[in-house]
């Protein structure tokens, strides 16, 4: 029943963008967790998780997003979400995470917002 | 009898200067010499019987295996006499008829009974020899020693049994562990009808759903229902911690938001970093309302799906607690509360999202049951009772079959109408 998760990371001026596509659940969340230590984040930088291709996100998926946030915070960097699909946004609203992650329509918008904020 | 096959080959090695012609001669000599010996000392048993099964010829290998003299068998015994009781039955009902029909039968596992009573597993192949006129004359049978094979099969079977046993033990452990996370029977609250159900999605992994209903001071009652992220032993540990923290915190200060704040603090201290653990919980404080009848309930939600209120008048609505945040990973999680009056005839349903996230098409479709469908379900049910609600939810879960891929906990409370209200 579970589909694969594809994970791509790229480095940007702000820090890193992680693009996720597929189901983010009990089976695939560890893949994302394992990729976190490899990200290059500097103090004042930003980690963006691009969720455009996410088809499903359960509580394990939410856990790994929080782990990503903890990872960014530990590096004194910020974390933002981009292109959150409506069904995932609905879960975020139920669990109150919509107030925790700054959310942008695209990864580019998240990047732009960081450039403005960091002058 | 001398074993002629070995000698020429052995003598060939040291005498390396022998010509090719010499070697050919030795080779043909070897072939001619060995026909009888090959039969007698073959690495398998040979047996020829008449059509009625009487033994006509038997080789030395088989006699050795069984510990018989040639005279014990030839002309005196039938092939089936050499078999165990079970083997004889099989021979009678399957082996012999098939052989008559097909003219041959191969690879049949049987057990022979040796002269000393011991048993010898063999693989048996038989063919019917016919004369020039096509009439069957006799039956030729080869028998291969299957002791190694049988031992191997027994070992496989034993390993498999052990694995099955191990699996059963794990299932039992998981089920037991699950039960310790739930109250054995819902508490008996005066003036309130309570029912609950826990649906286990997989017996291989402990789920993280939990609920409880328990007395607090001065006629008030606490209740909670929640869902810890993840599965397995790690999730069960959080579930256990959450359960006992909630009960202890409620005794200390029964204000629902304060109870969840306490749980948030405890979980934040315990779990953080790369392996965060959180839960979503609804905590309710039930207070009897002597003036209006029924109860007043204050619900605090930490990121949990809203409770469903099915009223006496047949309407149903969610009780939203917008802004409430999941418990355990944010240092200052916001807890949202709402207070409603539960009138006689009203029923309140708390659930975990295993219900609303269930696949409605078992063929792995994308359709999940959803909040809207559950609201419609509640509207169809109202007015109802606690046991009526839980019964209907169980039927609903059954209809999803394997589509329920997460554990699901449901807890319903209902204020029964008094007899005079029913008359009105």
Does B14 score more than 60 pLDDT?
no
pLDDT of residue B16: 47
- Span B58-107, pLDDT tens digits: 999 999 999 999 999 999 999 999 999 888 989 998 899 999 899 999 98
The answer to whether B355 and B307 have CB atoms below 8 angstroms apart is: no
CATH 3.30.750.24 for the A5-108 domain, yes or no? yes
B239 - beta bridge partners? none
In contact, B277 and A69? CB cutoff 8 Å:
no
- Inter-chain contact A96–B325, Cβ cutoff 8 Å? yes
Has domain B42-145 been given CATH number 3.30.450.20? Answer: yes
Please indicate if any CB of chain A lies within 8 Å of the CB of B277: yes
Query: pLDDT per residue over A46-75, tens digit each?
Result: 999 999 999 888 888 898 999 999 999 999
Distance (Å) from the alpha carbon of A70 to chain B's nearest alpha carbon:
6
In the structure, what pLDDT confidence band is assigned to residue A106 with cuts at 50, 70 and 90? very high
Distance from CA of B360 to the nearest CA of A (A): 13
Average confidence (pLDDT) over B283-302: 95
pLDDT value at position B13? 44
Q: Which residues of A53-64 are buried (b: 16+ CB within 10 A; e: fewer)?
A: ebebbbbbbbbb
Cβ neighbours of residue B373 closer than 8 Å, sequence gap 6 or more: B356, B360
Reported ipTM? 0.83
DSSP-assigned letters across all residues of B329-384:
SSTT---EEEEEEE-TT-EEEEE-TTTTT-BSSTTT-S-B--HHHHHHHHHHH-S-
3-state secondary structure B236-297: HHHHHHHHHHHHHHHHHCCCHHHHHHHHHHHHHHHCCCCCCCCEEEEEEEEEECCCCCCEEE
Cα atoms in the Cβ-side hemisphere of radius 13 Å centred on A43: 0
Q: What's the topology of domain B182-423?
A: Phosphatase 2c; domain 1 (3.60.40)
Give every CB contact of residue B306 below 8 A, 6+ residues apart in sequence.
B318, B319, B320, B321
Q: Which residues of B touch A93 (CB under 8 A)?
A: 322
Q: Provide the token pair at B232.
A: 């397995």
B256-270 helix and B232-252 helix, angle to the nearest 10 degrees? 140
pLDDT over threshold 50, residue B3: no
The H-assigned helical ranges of B103-215 are: 147-180
Q: Note whether B304 contacts A: Cβ–Cβ < 8 A.
A: yes
The helix/strand/coil state of B26 is helix
For chain B, the structural domain boundaries read 42-145, 152-180, 182-423
B contacts of A60 (beta carbons < 8 Å): 229-230
Q: Which residues of A touch B305 (CB under 8 A)?
A: 94
CB-closest option in A33, A99, A100 to B274? A33
| Pairing outcome for strands A78-82 and A103-104 | parallel
Q: Let me know how long chain A is.
A: 119
pLDDT at B363: 47
- Domain segments of chain A as ranges: 5-108
Chain segment B104-146, per-residue pLDDT in tens: 999 898 999 999 999 999 999 999 999 888 899 999 999 999 9
Give the HSE-up count for residue B177: Cα atoms under 13 Å, Cβ half-sphere. 23
Q: Are B4 and B38 in contact (CB under 8 A)?
A: no
Beta strands B55-58; B104-113: pairing state: unpaired
Of A62, A70, A99, the CB nearest to B229: A62
Which helix (H) or strand (E) segment is B107 a member of?
A: strand B104-113
Within 13 A of B312's CA, how many CA atoms are on the CB side?
A: 14
């Amino acid at each position: 029943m579970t589909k694969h998760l594809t994970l791509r990371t790229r480095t940007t001026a702000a820090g890193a963008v992680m693009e996720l596509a597929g189901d983010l659940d009990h089976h695939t969340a560890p893949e994302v967790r394992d990729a976190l230590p490899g990200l290059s984040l500097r103090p004042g930088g930003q980690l963006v998780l691009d969720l455009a291709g996410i088809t499903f996100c359960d509580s394990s998926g939410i856990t790994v997003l929080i782990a990503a946030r903890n990872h960014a915070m530990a590096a004194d960097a910020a974390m933002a979400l981009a292109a959150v699909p409506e069904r995932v946004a609905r879960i975020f609203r139920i669990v109150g995470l919509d107030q925790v992650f700054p959310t942008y329509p695209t990864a580019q918008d998240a990047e732009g917002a960081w450039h403005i904020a960091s002058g | 009898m001398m074993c002629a096959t070995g000698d020429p080959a052995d003598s060939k090695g040291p005498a390396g200067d022998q010509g090719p012609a010499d070697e050919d001669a030795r080779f043909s000599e070897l072939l001619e010499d060995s026909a009888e010996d090959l039969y007698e000392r073959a690495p398998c048993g040979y047996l020829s019987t008449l059509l009625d099964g009487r033994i006509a010829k038997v080789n030395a290998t088989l006699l050795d295996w069984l510990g018989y003299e040639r005279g014990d068998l030839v002309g005196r015994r039938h092939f089936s006499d050499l078999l165990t009781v079970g083997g004889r039955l099989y021979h009678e009902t399957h082996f012999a008829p098939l052989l008559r029909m097909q003219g041959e039968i191969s690879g049949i596992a049987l057990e022979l009974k040796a002269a000393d009573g011991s048993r010898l597993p063999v693989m048996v192949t038989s063919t019917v020899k016919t004369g020039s006129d096509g009439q069957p004359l006799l039956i030729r049978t080869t028998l291969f020693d299957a002791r190694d094979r049988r031992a191997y099969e027994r070992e496989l079977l034993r390993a498999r049994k052990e694995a099955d046993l191990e699996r059963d033990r794990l299932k039992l452990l998981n089920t037991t562990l699950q039960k310790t996370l739930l109250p054995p029977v819902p508490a008996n609250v005066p003036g309130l009808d309570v029912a609950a159900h826990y649906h286990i999605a997989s017996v291989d992994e402990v789920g993280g759903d939990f609920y409880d209903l328990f007395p607090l001071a001065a006629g008030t009652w606490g209740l909670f229902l929640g869902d810890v992220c993840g599965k397995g032993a790690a999730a069960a540990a959080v579930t256990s911690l959450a359960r006992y923290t909630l009960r202890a915190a409620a005794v200390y200060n029964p204000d629902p938001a304060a109870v969840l704040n306490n749980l948030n603090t405890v979980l934040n201290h315990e779990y953080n970093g790369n392996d965060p653990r959180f839960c979503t919980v609804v905590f309710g404080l039930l207070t009897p309302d002597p003036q209006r009848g029924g109860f007043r309930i204050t619900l605090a939600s930490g990121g949990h799906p809203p409770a469903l209120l099915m009223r006496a008048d047949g309407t149903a609505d969610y009780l939203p607690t917008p802004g409430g945040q999941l418990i355990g990973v944010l240092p200052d999680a916001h807890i949202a509360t709402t207070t409603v009056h539960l009138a006689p005839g009203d029923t309140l349903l708390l659930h975990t999202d295993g219900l609303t996230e269930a696949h409605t098409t078992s063929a792995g479709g994308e359709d999940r049951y959803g909040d809207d469908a559950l609201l419609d379900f509640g509207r169809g049910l109202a007015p109802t009772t606690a046991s009526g609600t839980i019964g209907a939810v169980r039927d609903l879960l059954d209809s999803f079959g394997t589509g329920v891929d997460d554990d699901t906990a449901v807890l319903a409370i209902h204020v029964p109408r008094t007899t005079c209200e029913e008359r009105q």
